[in-house]
Amino acid sequence: MYSQKVLDHFRNPRNVGRMDNPDGVGKVGNPVCGDVMVMYLKIKNDIIEDAMFETFGCGAAIATSSIATELIKGKPIHEAQNITNKAVVEALDGLPPAKMHCSVLAEEAVKSAIEDYEKKRNEGEGKPAESA
């Protein structure tokens, strides 16, 4: 059985949709069930100002990505980077054992979006300064 929180986030997902001009994007999938999750982040001064997601998958994957966006919004990236699927599950008041892997997808999506942001930032720093 799903908790009320899981049902709530599944029925009324928060921060759902594609973000315009995100600073980091993470796309992850589970090859076993075929579900896919995309996480978009807006980051300023190392703080996650906004997070949005698109999930093509099961109800638990939608609920875990929805709560994950709420957990990381307003957090410094070094904290968001340490998000665990356990924290996601706890925030949802639990998940059935067969659905634990859905929360792993949420953890991986957040981490992958932060990695993408850091990669882009490092590439930006490596570029020569533009001449006027």
- Active-site hit among 12, 33, 93, 115: 33
- The distance of closest approach from Cβ of residue 84 to ligand FES in the complex, given in angstroms and rounded to an integer, is 16
Binding window for ligand FES (CB under 6 A); candidates: 12-20, 38-46, 58-66, 111-119? 58-66
Q: Is 102 a known active-site residue?
A: yes
- Active-site hit among 102, 105, 109, 114: 102
Asked whether 52 and 18 are in contact (CB, 8 A), the reply is yes
Binding-site member from 102, 109, 110, 113 for ligand FES (CB under 6 A): 102
- The distance of closest approach from Cβ of residue 20 to ligand FES in the complex, given in angstroms and rounded to an integer, is 26
H or E element at residue 79: helix 77-80
Asked whether 29 and 116 are in contact (CB, 8 A), the reply is no
Assign residue 56 a region (left: φ > 0; alpha: ψ between -120 and 50; beta: otherwise): beta
Strand ranges (E), the chain: 24-29, 36-44, 47-56
Binding-site member from 61, 80, 91, 114 for ligand FES (CB under 6 A): 61
**Rounded Cα gap, residues 67 and 55, in angstroms:** 12
Structure-token pair, residue 35: 């579900």
Sites of contact with ligand FES (CB under 6 A): 30, 33, 35, 57-58, 60-61, 99, 102, 105
Catalytic positions, written as ranges: 33, 102
